Structure 1
Amino acid sequence: METTIEPIDRVAIQIGPIQIYWYAVIIISGVLIGLWLAMSESERRDLPKETFVDLVFFALPISIIAARLYYVIFQWEYYAENPIKIIAIWEGGLAMHGVLTGAVLTILVFAKVRDISFWKLTDILAPSLILGQAIGRWGNFINQEAHGGPVSREFLENLYLPDFIINQMYIEGTYYQPTFLYESLWNFGGFILLMSLRRANLRRGELFLTYIIYYSFGRFFIEGMRTDSLMLTDNLRMAQVISVVLIFVAMMIIWYRRKKGYADIRYLDNGM
């Protein structure tokens, strides 16, 4: 007899014809929690609290657009035939590397206009970014995406997962590996690491660069388990290639800034 397991309803709230999806609720929750965290730290780092409210006002829409464009470009064959689906972000399809690209470009311009150190801003934001990613992966869980290959129910039970996760990993008659959960847990670990490193008083910029290295390292291995990766070629997963490049670039930036004396200011030092 075939098992029947109903997935979690993707709609969180419905008011008449208006539907609010869990995916959007979870993503926005991650943004707001990350914003609160950055605002709490900004005053200790001699920045007006509203600095990050102003930054998010620009960075959020730009990052969402960049994330969607990134995803659509690598799935263009599908979206060329279904152009109306390009705007359907509530169905998923926001690439994290697109988010980072949009966010970093926005911060570069914002820092220049406000005459604030780019590295100071990104250091403060680093724990917020990885915490937001950890929370945001649960949007993928609701949408039953960002999962790995087929596994047995016994495999999932041996991971001591609660039934609501196991049941949601049952998709069209097959159980799948919860890679969304692996990345969420990896990112929560990164959040704890970065919060601890704040007290270590690293050189300015190195908290953010540590985030880039840590996240990319985990993403490389977890991406290799996924079945819905964006592909650069038939054998190369885009996220894995970018992860390797980001690790190398971040390490080179740390080395270069130290060698040239651009990283003498510490995280806990005030000043712009």
Structure 2
Amino acid sequence: MAMTHPQFDPIAISLGPLDIHWYGLMYLMAFGQFLFLGYLRLKQASVAQAGWSFKDIEDLLFAGVVGVILGGRLGYIVFYMPGHYLANPLDVLRVWEGGMSFHGGFIGVLVAMLWFGKKNNRSFFEVTDLIAPLVPFGLAFGRLGNFINGELWGRPTDLPWAMIFPQAGDLLTRHPSQLYQLLGEGLCLGVVLWWYASKKRSLGQISGVFLIGYGLLRFLVEFAREPDSFLGLLSLGLSMGQWLSLPMVFFGTYLIFKRVK
């Protein structure tokens, strides 16, 4: 009596010729929570003393959105399907068919934050320490969107909460890995990071905790997530997501100990 994915209609709202998809709504929710938590973050003593304003939060959101979209698309092309896009360069523009990479989007955001810092005479880690606690809850909305769409399903398992994903093309019971990521790199990391950032920390440490937390949680959940069919598992039996997460853990650890010294 295994559960089956509910097969939600991907369209949340239809307004005449305009269809609003659940995944688009999740993006809007992620942007909204960034502004809301940013407003609360400005009230924390260590942030208030640094002279940040709500306009900075709005500008950072705009820069981050551009970084996510461009970096996410380019990251997917470079990390996952470079051969396909070299052979079919016009497919780069077919964004409505999907194809976004978290790690590519993450790099895009880092570039955007570097640009913002130089433009506003802020150091890179001042900027990333400010926004790091605002990110995980936004990731949670993204993973909820993945679950609603029935995509990025998990590997086969016989655990009691396993679920059949018809989109996988079989009747195997699988890990609902999207929900694991929602709870782990989304809600749990968000709570820990918000608590950690509520007190004054050395420059770079909040960013370091985010890198370690996300990288480690993503690395672990990848053992339950079905690897991309066109890639499979890579060296040492690890997925692309795991290989891309390891540098985050290493650099985050470096940041923590470097700043503590």
Q: Does 1:8 align with 2:8?
A: yes
Equivalent residue number for residue 62 of structure 2: 57
User: Match of 1:17?
Assistant: 17
Q: Map of 1:20-59 to 2, 5 A cutoff? A: 20-44=20-44, 45=47, 46-59=51-64
Alignment of 1:49-88 (within 5 A): 49-73=54-78, 74-79=80-85, 86-88=92-94
Partner of 2:100: 94
Structure 2 stretches lacking a partner, 5+ long: none
Scaled by the length of structure 1, the TM-score of the pair is 0.79
Alignment CA distance shift 1:88-1:185 (3 Å): farther
Q: Deviations over 1:183-232 (max 9, x none)?
A: 11012111111111123432232112101101100100111222234668
Tell me which moved more, 176-185 or 120-129.
Answer: 120-129
Q: Which moved more, 1:174-183 or 1:67-76?
A: 67-76
Which letter maps to 2:40? S
For the 8 Å contact 1:216–1:244, the answer to whether it is kept is yes
CA change 1:202–1:250 in 2 (3 A) is same
SS of the aligned residue for 1:147 comes to coil
Secondary structure of the structure 2 residue equivalent to 1:116: coil
Cα distance in structure 1, aligned partners of 2:5 and 2:212: 39
Contact 2:26 2:144 in 1 (8 A): yes
Indicate the residue corresponding to 1:188 in structure 2: 187
Cross-structure match for 2:215: 216
Provide the secondary structure at the position in 1 that maps to 2:52.
coil
1:56 Cα offset (Å) = 1.5
Return the alpha-carbon distance in structure 1 between the equivalents of residues 233 and 101 of structure 2: 14
SS at match of 1:150: coil
Q: Following the alignment from structure 2 to structure 1, what is the Cα–Cα distance between the partners of residues 74 and 34? A: 23
Residues 36-75 of structure 1, C-alpha deviations (whole Å, 9 max, x = no match): 2113312542311110101221220222111011113312
Please say if 1:197 is aligned against 2:202. Answer: no
* Offset from partner CA, 1:85-136 (integer Å, 9 cap, x none): 5445455432111121011111111011101233232222112111111121
Residue 81 of structure 1 deviates from its aligned partner by 6.8
Matches of 1:13 and 1:209, distance apart in 2: 39
Give how far 1:178 is off.
0.6
Report the Cα distance in structure 1 between the residues aligned to 2:12 and 2:177, rounded to whole angstroms: 23
Paired-residue identity, %: 29
Shift of 1:258: 3.7
Give the Cα–Cα distance (whole angstroms) in 2 for the partners of residues 12 and 85 of structure 1.
Answer: 27
In terms of mean alpha carbon deviation, does 53-62 or 80-89 score higher? 80-89
1:127–1:195: 8 Å Cα contact kept in structure 2?
A: yes
Q: Tell me the equivalent position of 1:255.
A: 257
The answer for the alignment partner of 2:225 in structure 1 is 226
- 1:88/1:12 CA distance change after superposition, 3 Å: farther
Q: Cα RMSD over matched residues? A: 2.7
Instruction: Tell me the secondary structure at the aligned position of residue 198 of structure 2.
Output: helix
For these two proteins, the number of residue pairs brought into alignment is: 247
Report the Cα offset of residue 149 of structure 1: 1.6
Q: Report how far residue 257 of structure 1 moved.
A: 3.4
SS in 1 for 2:111: helix
d(CA) in 1 for partners of 2:58, 2:143: 23
Q: Distance in 2 between matches of 1:4 and 1:133?
A: 24
**2:157–2:174 CA contact under 8 A, matched in 1:** yes
